[in-house]
Structure 1
Amino acid sequence: MTRWPWAVAVLALGAGCTKGDKDEAPRRAQVRKVSGSTMEVVPSEGQLPYCLLYTVSQKGIIRQLTMTRENRSIKCDAGRPVANTSFRVPVQEGTVKVYVIFSNERIQAGSVAQQLYELRDRPRVTGMDFRLPGQAFIEQLEFTPEEGGAPVTGGVIGAGGEVANGETEATEETPEGTTLDMTGAMPEGMDAGVPATDAGP
């Protein structure tokens, strides 16, 4: 009879450890606050090589942050900010959900944006919710912008989806450490991030 209390205690401890491990699953990416309304998104180690980055505001506005002339996913290196860029989130939109979509091949961003628009009211989405080629994973994060901090000049990611460093025109490459202002509009409530130099009032 003395064995039963020990067996129950071991089972209880084992169940508690399992629950804690599930709650603390490693993140595929993290959001770093640069200033009050400016953030960087940094992929963790071991992620798929390409990514797309979107935000969905409390008002339902969807913004695509990683943009190329081909409108496809870009190369995202672990431990470095996506596109070597920081993004300014409009303060008036409140807390935004940040979606990082990792893939093993470059995918078209337009179809992903449309699917995200259809799924925008779901509290959580996974790679299984999207119709994507190859292998894909979704990381959902949050960012709350606050007043303060001025953006610097931004730029557009190069046509190959790679972000090259150097002093070039904003229409060709995004210099490292720049800020993209997320303004501008797309059909059906979807907004696209554009360079701060091109942003309207």
Structure 2
Amino acid sequence: MTRWPWAAAVLVLAVGCNREGKEGSTARAELRRVSGSTLEVIPHEGQLPYCLLYTVSQKGVIRQLTMTRENRSIKCETGRPIANTSFRIPAQEGPVKLYVIFSDQRIPAGSVAQQLYELRDRPNVSGMDFRLHGQAFVEQLEFTPEDDVAPVTGGVVGQQGEVTDGTEAPPPDAPEAAPPEDGGT
């Protein structure tokens, strides 16, 4: 009879912790679309200081986006894009999963890429899945690249703000160009 109060207390504690873990969990990084196929990844406040960034496409192509000479993780500042740059994902690769691996120390990127290759078919990957020294967390994001619209260049802006390619003749009621004030000299 004395077991029931303890069992009820453990059950309430377990349910409360479970809810708190789900509601309290927040994203470690944010993905910002710059254009159809270009993105930035911004770490949120309170993340570990170093990171690696990889993409895995539906076709199985794994890309390491944070490359350094030493091939190790880089310093990642909260609120600023990783590597202070944007990354272009080829639209023909289709949707990709982005893996941001935060760590408390610089880790070798090559071994992480190999482990990611081994884990690529898993729906979710955590820091515990990698054989890393120190503390590590993984943020998994998804991105679907789209074809970028080519910029229009070389146009001539008319008096009314219309843009032409410059080969069209001016409208018949357009005023002629005024001669230079200094007489052309």
State if a TM-score over 0.5 links the two structures.
yes
Report the equivalent of 2:47. 47
Report the equivalent of 1:81. 81
In 2: Cα distance, 1:53 partner to 1:66 partner: 6
Report the equivalent of 1:71. 71
Deviations 1:29-70 (CA, angstroms, capped at 9, x unpaired): 011000000000000000000000000000111000000010
Report the equivalent of 1:117. 117
* Counterpart AA for 1:127: G
* Counterpart AA for 1:61: V
Structure 1 contact 29–44 (Cα < 8 Å) conserved: yes
SS of 1:141's partner is strand
Displacement after TM superposition at 1:25 (Å): 2.3
Where relative contact order (Cα < 8 A, 6+ residues apart) is larger, the structure is 1
Displacement after TM superposition at 1:24 (Å): 6.7
Does structure 1 residue 95 correspond to structure 2 residue 95?
A: yes
SS of 1:42's partner is strand
Report the equivalent of 2:131. 131
Displacement after TM superposition at 1:22 (Å): 1.3
In 2: Cα distance, 1:46 partner to 1:34 partner: 24
Uncovered stretches (5+) of structure 2, i.e. residues with no partner: 1-14, 151-185
Deviations 1:62-100 (CA, angstroms, capped at 9, x unpaired): 000000010000000000000000000010111100000
Aligned residues with identical type, % of pairs: 75
Aligned structure 1 segments of 4 or more residues deviating by more than 2 angstroms = 18-21
Report the equivalent of 2:104. 104
Report the equivalent of 1:31. 31
SS of 1:114's partner is helix
Structure 1 contact 52–101 (Cα < 8 Å) conserved: yes
Structure 1 contact 37–149 (Cα < 8 Å) conserved: no
Count of residues in correspondence between the two structures? 139
In 1: Cα distance, 2:149 partner to 2:83 partner: 20
Structure 1 contact 38–149 (Cα < 8 Å) conserved: no
TM-score (norm 1): 0.64
In 1: Cα distance, 2:149 partner to 2:45 partner: 29
In 1: Cα distance, 2:47 partner to 2:132 partner: 17
In 2: Cα distance, 1:134 partner to 1:25 partner: 21
Q: Between 80-89 and 141-150, report the one with greater CA deviation.
A: 141-150
SS of 2:146's partner is coil
